[in-house]
Amino acid sequence: MIEAKNLTKVYAGVTVLDIPEITVKPGETFGLVGNNGAGKTTFFSLILDLIQANTGTVFSHARDVRLSDHWKEYTGSFLDESFVIDFLSPEEYFEFIGGLFRKSKEETAALVEPYRDFFNDEILGKKKYIRDLSKGNQKKVGIVGALMMNPKVLVLDEPFPHLDPSSVIRLKKMLKSIGSTGDVTILISSHDLNHVTEVCNRIALLEKGKILRDTPTTERTIHELEAYFSAQLER
Per-residue pLDDT of the chain (235 residues; tens, 9 = 90+): 899 999 999 999 999 999 999 999 999 999 999 999 999 999 999 999 999 999 999 999 999 999 989 999 999 999 998 899 999 999 999 999 999 999 999 999 999 999 999 999 999 999 999 999 999 999 999 999 999 999 999 999 999 999 999 999 999 999 999 999 999 999 999 999 999 999 999 999 999 999 999 999 999 999 999 988 888 776 6
Distance of CA 191 to the CA centre of its chain: 13
Cα of 230 vs its chain's centroid, Å:
26
| Residue whose C-alpha is closest to residue 153's, from 2, 3, 52 | 2
Amino acid at 58: V
The span from the CA of 21 to the CA of 208, in Å, is 16
Q: Which domains does the chain have, with CATH numbers?
A: 1-74+153-163+182-235 (3.40.50.300), 82-150 (no CATH)
Return the DSSP state at 209. T
As a whole number of angstroms, the distance between CA 53 and CA 17 comes to 9
Q: Which amino acid is at 213?
A: R
Cα 157 from chain centre: 4
pLDDT digits (tens, 9 = 90+) for 14-47: 999 999 999 999 999 999 999 999 999 999 999 9
Cα–Cα distance, 162 to 147 (Å, whole number) = 18
Sheet hosting strand 55-60, strand order edge to edge:
14-24, 2-11, 55-60, 63-64
What backbone phi and psi angles, to 5 degrees, belong to 30?
Answer: -105, 125
Cα(111)–Cα(191) distance, rounded to whole angstroms? 30
128-145 in b/e form (b: 16+ CB < 10 A) is eebeebeeebbbbbbbbb
User: Residue 40 has what pLDDT?
Assistant: 96
Alpha helix segments (H runs only) across the chain:
40-47, 90-100, 105-112, 116-119, 135-147, 165-180, 193-199, 221-233
Q: What is the pLDDT of residues 79-105, one digit of tens each?
A: 998 899 999 999 999 999 999 999 999
